[in-house]
Amino acid sequence: MTEQYDVAAARHHRVAEHLEMNGEIDDAAYHYGLVGENALKYALCKSGVAGVWNGARMKPRNTPMGKHLPSLTSAIQGFITDIQLHAVGRVGAELQAVVGDPAFVSRFQGWSLDIRYADHTCTPVSLVDCQRWSLDADLVLRRLVLMI
């Protein structure tokens, strides 16, 4: 199966907005994080960077492609030179701008995959965190997937 990170990012965004409008803050917050993860992975693929890693026979688990938020953010920072050297095209330029922005390290800060399990250390999610992750999701979706 070929991953369709762009389709997944857009779908999770629609779901998150619907859940947030209906007061399901924990679930909305979870989906906003998935928007970020999918948008970043889409840009890594579309810009050619993931292809370079594949060509070098790097195992995905050793690259950002095999990571989830929040470790995806730090993995991207560890591969910033690859991104700067190999990200091409319009998506590549946007990817470089997004991950090169000093604010990138704080995007989706505090988000955890464990929200999906209603882990007591992760839920309930505050409305403030949900709204912050919503803004982060909007930004990466617009810039890396929708290109607007």
pLDDT at 60: 94
In the structure, what pLDDT confidence band is assigned to residue 120 with cuts at 50, 70 and 90? confident
At 58 the pLDDT is 96
Residues 24-68: tens digit of each pLDDT: 999 999 999 999 999 999 999 999 999 999 999 999 999 999 999
Rounded Cα distance between 110 and 91, Å, is: 27
Q: What is the mean pLDDT of the chain?
A: 96
Q: What token pair was written down for 112?
A: 């955890």
Q: Does the structure show a pLDDT above 90 at 118?
A: no
User: In this predicted structure, what is the pLDDT of residue 80?
Assistant: 97
DSSP string, the chain: ----HHHHHHHHHHHHHHHHHTT-HHHHHHHHHHHHHHHHHHHHHHTTHHHHHHHTT--GGGSGGG--TTHHHHHHHHTHHHHHHH--HHHHHHHHHHHHSGGGGGTTTT--GGGGGT-TTT-SPPHHHHHHHHHHHHHHIIIIII--
Domains present along the chain, CATH in parentheses: 5-146 (1.20.120)
| 2 — pLDDT class (breaks 50, 70, 90) | confident
Residue 119's pLDDT band, with cuts at 50, 70 and 90, is confident
Which pLDDT score, from 0 to 100, does residue 95 have?
98
Confidence of residue 139 (pLDDT cuts 50, 70, 90): very high
Residue 15, number of CB atoms within 10 A of its CB: 18
